[in-house]
Amino acid sequence: MNLYPVYPLFDVEIARGKGCHVYDTTGQEYLDLYGGHAVISIGHCHPHYVEALTKQLNLLGFYSNSVENSLQVQLAERLGRASGYDDYQLFLINSGAEANENALKLASFHTGRSRILAACHAFHGRTSLAVEATDNPRIVAPVNAGGHVTFLPLNDLDAFRAELEKGDVAAVILECIQGVGGIRMATAEFAQGLSRLCQAHGTVLIADEIQCGYGRSGRFFAHQHLGIRPDIITCAKGIANGFPMGAVLIAPHFQATPGQLGTTFGGNHLACAAALAVLDVIEDEHLIDNAAETGAYLIERLRSLQAAHPCITDIRGRGLMVGIDFDGPIKAMRTRLVKEQHVFTGAASTNILRLLPPLCLTRAEADDFIERLSAVL
């Protein structure tokens, strides 16, 4: 049997990692400014994380959601305190797409409606309704094109108002910093106005924090920069530093009923141990503060680089979620970064370099990246 070839791959195999660095099978070191799509939050192979997973695996790796699991309760309490949402409810699953599927399902249950509003260039997953709410027709199969979703320009409050006033919208789902869409940021004016409109029209506001959340923006959640409090918040990626996990934070006015949602693997013992270890490290090493401070420093260094290289047309971001616009395609440059400078970065569209490093990135590592990037400009 062969692998189903859907991923465009660099011809490099990563064999081990440490902090913000990874190493291939030949021993070559690479600076990781991508963190495996924003998944590596506390750094590769953090010793506390490794110890916590090893300890739990020696006790019990998995049992189903047919019995009590005190690790889930601990995680709910810790995550509530860390994020400022201790009055919310927690439902655990395995991925970001699952988180958004369940959030949208809850919104439809709660309102009795089926329409969804999303922003142009949004990415919310590749499954069922999540992919229908993703603004990329190439990955929406006919079976997913259900006509539930209307896409509107990010930050165009009048456009959202016109649709919400129809009174048939179950949910608005919003990335406060779009990831795949190119590090496009919602404004506070837009987000606050949208929140008020959702409340006025009985529509559920969902903050998709899968990529921009969990400390990456320099706050626990990116929407906390904007002064809003969504009805539902979805998380994944950095929540367990590479162990598959997703989460839905649900406001207290939602009432659960038996069997309403469900999952086989979600919230298993090993996943919860991973997520608890991540929160330990984020708190003990002040990684959210580091994301804010090192991110600001990195953006400052990038802007200085822009002044010397007019091929860089824009730099934007918040914390350690940064987009660099170029005046042409970046595919060849990204290949040179990997092959010549040994740096992993991401992309959005054809001309945006996307940086999503571990939250433990240091200023010295940011400086190192600037030198390596300069060499290919």
Judge if 256 and 198 occupy the same domain. Answer: yes
Same domain, 93 and 167: yes
As a whole number of angstroms, the distance between CA 149 and CA 143 comes to 14
Alpha-carbon gap, residue 42 to 357, rounded angstroms: 10
C-alpha 116/C-alpha 108 separation (Å) is 9
Q: How far is CA 128 from the centre of its chain?
A: 19
Could you tell me the pLDDT band of residue 188, with boundaries at 50, 70 and 90? very high
Where residue 314 falls among pLDDT bands split at 50, 70, 90?
very high
**Which pLDDT band, with edges at 50, 70 and 90, does 367 fall under?**
very high
Find the mean pLDDT for residues 124-136: 97
The DSSP annotation for 132-146 comes to HTSS-GGG--GGG--
CATH of the domain at 223: 3.40.640.10
User: pTM, whole model, 2 decimals?
Assistant: 0.98
Work out the pLDDT band at 159, boundaries 50, 70, 90.
Answer: very high
CB 122 within 8 Å of CB 134:
yes
Distance, CA of 176 to CA of 183 (rounded, Å): 9
Q: How many CB atoms lie within 10 A of CB 308?
A: 9
Other beta carbons within 10 angstroms of residue 248's beta carbon come to: 27
The per-residue pLDDT for range 268-300, each reduced to its tens digit, is 999 999 999 999 999 999 999 999 999 999 999
| Residue after which a domain boundary falls, among 251, 284, 317 | 284
Same domain as 247, residue 167: yes
Q: Where are the alpha helices (DSSP H) in 69-187?
A: 70-83, 96-111, 128-132, 157-164
Instruction: Tell me the residue type at 282.
Output: I
| Averaged pLDDT for residues 331-350 | 97
Domain range for 29 is 14-46+287-374
Sign, Cα dihedral of 294, 295, 298, 300: negative
Tell me, rounded to whole angstroms, the distance of Cα 135 from its chain centroid: 16
Query: How crowded is residue 297: how many other Cβ atoms within 10 Å of its Cβ?
Result: 15
Listed residues 245, 266, 284: the one ending a domain: 284
| Contact call for residues 86 and 76 (beta carbons, < 8 A) | no
Please write the tens of the pLDDT for every residue from 13-43: 999 999 999 999 999 999 999 999 999 999 9
Mean pLDDT of the chain: 98
